[in-house]
Structure 1
Amino acid sequence: MLGTVMAGAPTDRIPLHTILLPVLGVLAWVVIGKAGLGLVALLLAIVLLGSVLAAVHHAEIVALRVGEPYGTLILALAVTVIEAGLIISLMLGGDPNPGLMRDSVHAAVMLVLHGLAGACIVIGAWRHRGSEFRVDGANSFLAVLIPMATLVLVLPNHVLSTEGPYLTTAQLIFISGACLALYLAFLFIQTNWHRDYFLPVGDGPSAGHARPAGRIAAGSAVLLIVALTSVVLLAKALAPALEEGVAAVGAPTTVVGVIVAAIVLMPESAAAIRAAAHNRLQSSINLVLGSAVACIGLTVPAVAAVSFMIGQPLALGISAGQTTLLALSFAVAIITYGTGRTNLLCGIVHLVLAATYVFTVFAP
């Protein structure tokens, strides 16, 4: 799986842009501090996106060096730090938005489950007519993703202790612990007892890479910290501009969460689509569904901890209409991943559901 993630990325050197962009991001935050609407905000946003890509590149280099099972953990933690950093920075940097984590987690699940998965299936089917994957691996992802999403996004609307989409402190602590426990259990299964569930089907083309040298991995480890710091600081600087921009165009505040999810999923999306194009749908599924599982299992406990410290409540429950769409999404996913082979029709169905989700965000 790591070999697929790294397709096209050099392991014998550190690309110059992955050094310059994170450093530039930290320096820009020091000089500018907080960005308003305009050219400055646009430039900072470009540097932010570059820092995200640089962070994931360095995480992948370190992951290739240490190997499995630790490599997968490093990748998941790096992406989770980016997402949690963006959410926490927006929580601290602008007006209180108790629904931000709900919106970003919900968006990540829907965009991954349908948008990204649909794109991978369509590309794989278009180029190879059909792609195979391991049912046991896909079902393992869904086995933890479905209860996680239900606990975080649906249950808060139905508890009796509080009104609305909120949980009591005890309930939020329990839900956060449950999500973390599910993720850790899944990680153990993925990297130890049932690692074969997640290996590519057959003897398709290899995308392996030589193990990076120690000095390259050490340099990437240092630059990973710099890149993650840059992402968090730039997100904090851009928080006012992002919220003002969404308000200026009259879009719902939910759009902020969708933007956060889209930024976080960019690197994973590129790697997953690249794998699907080379007939490695199993690797695409590992990346796609794995990012959704890590998103809930690690981000929710981290953001919940910060909400306790700053005293800001978290609105978690989604609307009745979105709950219906989420249930439909999982039903379709169970059908898609229950056969071990996909086709063009499956991909189109997923893309239509992704478009439906985006449409209902803007027209709730």
Structure 2
Amino acid sequence: MSTTSVIKSVFTRSAIIKLVLGWGSFVALTVAGGALNGALSTPVLFTVLAAIVAVILAAASGVVTEAEHLAEKLGDPYGTLVLTLSIVLIEVILISAVMLGPGEHATIARDSVMAVAMIILNLVIGTALLVGGFKHRDMRPNKSGVSAYLSLLVALITVAFALPALIGDDGAYTPAQAIPIIALTVVLYAFFLARQMGAQRADFQEVVAVADQRAGAALTGVPANPQLGAEQLTPDAQTSQLADALANHKPELIARGLLLVAMVVPIVLLSHDMAALLDDGLDRLGAPVALSGIIIAMIVFLPETITAIRAALAGEIQRVSNLCHGALVSTVGLTIPAVLTIGLLTGQTVTLGEGATNLLLLGVSLLLTLTTFFGRRVTALHGAAHLFVFVLYGITVFQ
């Protein structure tokens, strides 16, 4: 495919409109910053907020489109990693920027990652399982992949929230504690990525249902392997698919990757700029300030949420796990070392230790994830249970 053809196929009219809309809104918001910092009437305040959210939704749909094109070309887990890492890396940059800005932000990383954890583990997964469960009666995740994610999450969440509350200084690691924690977290996350994209990549691919195996056995005359059952994986053509994509579609992959990042950045920037307006609006409504972080986290991870729900509707339950559990592993695995490093270099206090209530909810969320994904199949009922826990989290925010 020629360069001109690639440009025409990637930079469509719709993509250009969404790109211009996102960056144009950010520029307009930056220029009007002085006026927006003043006292706005309540109707004007919520009108501006609604306009920002509408722009973010439009940009998010563009991100989802590019991510799906990349996932189709690269296959899993590479395709979902593109979307996950692009959003998580920008989220880390956003938290770092807040930390390095004026004012005290000792708990910004803790509050942000906690909100992301509850949103992903319960709201996004709950919604995906609910809508997917109504449409598909036989959604079966790859238990090996989910088990790998949960193992990482148990270790990383312990390091992020529980351990500093027990051994830290008022919930913050001392420098002597932070240095080995940074090193261990980086090594564990790097090892996870290497295994996910290498020797264990089959653990993160969709499984074949028993019915499909039996149908294949009937056609070929070869009995299905009773030892494998529903865990029998699809034929492993991942390496050849990736090689083919890099060999034959490299210009398109680069163009779509750049366009995806270019659409993600204004989403995060707009979310950051609207934080002050959101805080003001919630204050006028008498809502807790912590709700601001939750809403911003929901908006930042909106592209991944939309993609996960679409995957559930298509019956791709392992892709839902890759998007959600993979995003949370990346968020904790990248954010904790980053903020601890910034704290060491700048002398800032980084408070990570969580309270008993949030630790309980995190523990319940992980246990619920275990019971959901290690059953014979996942259903809409599992999704309802996850949404129930998220509602409980929302109740605690208002206490």
The one of 293, 313, 318 aligned to 2:329: 293
Amino acid at match of 2:32: I
1:305 aligns with 2:311: no
The aligned residue for residue 166 of structure 2 is: 158
Provide the residue aligned with 2:5 in structure 1: none
Report deviation, 1:70.
Answer: 5.6
Aligned pairs for 1:115-130 within 5 A: 115-130=123-138
What per-residue deviation string (whole Å, max 9, x for no partner) do you get for residues 184-243 of structure 1?
A: 2211121111111111112789xx9x9695554444444445445434543443332233
3-state SS, counterpart of residue 106 of structure 2: coil
TM-score, with normalisation over the residues of structure 2? 0.76
**Other structure's SS at 2:274 match:** helix
Matched with 1:167 is: 173
Change (3 A) 1:248 1:108: same
1:316 deviation in Å?
Answer: 1.1
Q: Which residue of 2 aligns with 1:139?
A: 147
Name the aligned partner's letter for residue 85 of structure 2. Answer: L
Q: CA deviation at 1:248?
A: 3.3
Q: Is 1:176 aligned to 2:182, yes or no?
A: yes
CA distance 1:238–1:174, change in 2 (3 Å): farther
Q: 1:244 pairs with 280, 292, 295, which one?
A: 280
Q: Residue 272 of structure 1: which of 294, 308, 330 is its match?
A: 308
| Rg (Cα) greater in structure | 2
How many residues are paired up? 349
Summarize the Cα distance change of 1:177–1:257 in structure 2 as closer, same or farther, 3 Å threshold: farther
Q: 1:240 and 1:174, CA in 2 relative to 1: closer, same or farther beyond 3 A? A: farther
Q: Secondary structure at the match of 1:342?
A: coil
8 Å contact from structure 2 (residues 308, 324) kept in 1: yes
**TM-aligned CA deviation for residue 346 of structure 1:** 2.2
Segments of 5+ residues of structure 1 without an aligned counterpart are 1-9
Take 2:31 and 2:162, find their aligned partners in 1: how far apart are those partners? 43
Question: Who is 2:55 aligned against?
Answer: 47
Q: 1:59 to 1:89 in 2, by over 3 A?
A: farther
Cα deviation digits, residues 76-130 of structure 1 (max 9, x gap): 3211133224334444567433222211211211121122222222223222223
Query: What letter corresponds to residue 178 of structure 2 in structure 1?
Result: L
2:289 to 246, 253, 264: 253
The aligned counterpart of 2:192 is 186
In structure 2, C-alpha distance between the alignment counterparts of 1:316 and 1:77, rounded to whole Å = 22
Paired residue secondary structure (2:198): helix
Q: Which deviates more, 105-114 or 68-77?
A: 68-77
| 1:45–1:238 CA contact under 8 A, matched in 2 | no
**What is the percent sequence identity of the aligned residues?**
31
Distance 1:200 1:358, change over 3 A: same
DSSP-derived class of the 2:105 partner: coil
Aligned equivalent of 1:197: 203
Identify which range, 304-313 or 328-337, moves more after superposition: 304-313
Please tell me whether residue 97 in structure 1 is matched to residue 97 in structure 2: no
**Alpha carbons of structure 1 residues 132 and 97: separation in structure 2 relative to 1, 3 Å:** same
Q: Secondary structure at the match of 1:341?
A: coil
TM-score (structure 1 length as normaliser): 0.82
**8 A contact 2:76–2:205 mirrored in 1:** no
Counterpart residue number, 2:231? none
State the match for 2:229 in structure 1: none
Question: 1:297: how far off?
Answer: 0.9
The residue identity in structure 1 corresponding to 2:23 is: V
Structure 1 residues 130-139 or 93-102, which shifts more? 93-102
Matched AA of 2:190:
L
Gaps of 5+ in 2: 1-7, 213-233, 235-240
Letter in 2 for 1:152: A
Indicate which of 149, 171, 174 corresponds to 2:157: 149
RMSD, aligned CA: 3.2
- Cα distance, 1:175–1:259 mapped onto 2, change above 3 Å: farther
CA distance in 1 between counterparts of 2:56 and 2:132 reads 31
Larger mean Cα displacement after TM superposition, 244-253 or 279-288: 244-253
Distance (whole Å) between structure 1 residues aligned to residue 92 and residue 198 of structure 2: 27
Secondary structure, counterpart of 1:79 in structure 2: helix
Q: Does the Cα contact within 8 Å between 1:91 and 1:97 map onto a contact in 2?
A: yes
Asked whether 1:20 is paired with 2:56, we answer no
Cα–Cα, structure 1 residues 178 and 254, in superposed 2: closer, same or farther, change >3 Å?
farther
Contact 1:89 1:232 in 2 (8 A): no
Amino acid at match of 2:348: Q
CA distance in 1, matches of 2:254, 2:56: 23
Shift of 1:355: 1.2
Decide whether the 8 Å contact of 2:149 with 2:325 is kept in 1: yes
**In 1, distance between residues paired with 2:53 and 2:128?**
27
**Is the Cα–Cα contact under 8 Å of residues 85 and 327 in structure 2 kept in the other structure?**
no
Query: How many Å apart are 1:254 and its aligned residue?
Result: 2.2
> Structure 2 vs 1, CA of residues 346 and 246 (structure 1 numbering), >3 Å: closer, same or farther?
same
**Structure 1 contact 118–348 (Cα < 8 Å) conserved:** yes
